[in-house]
Amino acid sequence: MSGRDPDRRRALLDAADRAIAAEGPGVSMAAIAAAAGITKPVLYRHFGDRHGLYQALADRHAGTVVAQLKPRFAEAGTDLRGRATAAIDLYFDLVSANLNLYRFLFHRAGAEDSRVRSQMTSLVRSLGEELGAVLAAERVVPDPVRAQVLGHAFVGMVQSTCDWWLDHPEVPRDRVVQSLVDAVTAAVTPP
């Protein structure tokens, strides 16, 4: 809510992050409040309701993901295969390091709250648009429409495959990443 102390709000979001990391995506609002050393009503006073907290967490973390991935797309002097490997590897790193948060935002909160689902969809869409713009600007894919289609396809493919891999930890991560990189480079390589 506006008018609230931004440092206090940040501290409450930090506590929510810790509670989600410790208890998983099914964490309760009571557990989040306890991690912050407050009661649920105080937590709700700061965020309006559960959905306000979900939205604040989505805003916080979506911006971080975009800020870290965009430079990998546009890294000058690196071939497509190298950039694809760097970006996909970074995405897998971010998800692996924050698995409970990822599942909380993309699965639990997204299922419960249409605003969070919209935020996460917007994140995926903006990454697809960014990648499509890079592919077109560098003439990797000269047709701007095809570049956008492929940018969105690549981002969706990586997200979906990462979800699959999380359920199949027996598959080596490097194998999954390199398979994705192969698919990306094959899609833009002229026949």
CA 115 vs. chain centroid, Å, equals: 15
Mean pLDDT across the chain: 89
The pLDDT confidence band at residue 191, using thresholds 50, 70 and 90, is low
Distances (CA, A) of 33 to 6, 21, 73: 17, 14, 38
How far CA 101 is from CA of 16, 45, 53, 67, in Å, comes to 10, 23, 13, 17
pLDDT of residue 1: 44
Percentage of the chain lying above the pLDDT 70 cut: 96
Percent of the chain, pLDDT > 90? 57
The pLDDT tens digits for 110-169 are 788 888 888 888 888 888 998 899 889 888 899 999 999 999 999 999 999 999 999 999
Instruction: Supply the pTM of this predicted model.
Output: 0.85
Strand residue runs (E) in the chain? none
List the structure tokens of 57: 């967490």
Query: In the predicted model, is pLDDT for residue 72 greater than 50?
Result: yes
Measured at the CA of 62, the angle between CA 56 and CA 24, to 5 degrees, comes to 70
pLDDT, tens digit, 9 for 90 and up, residues 35-50 = 999 999 999 999 988 8
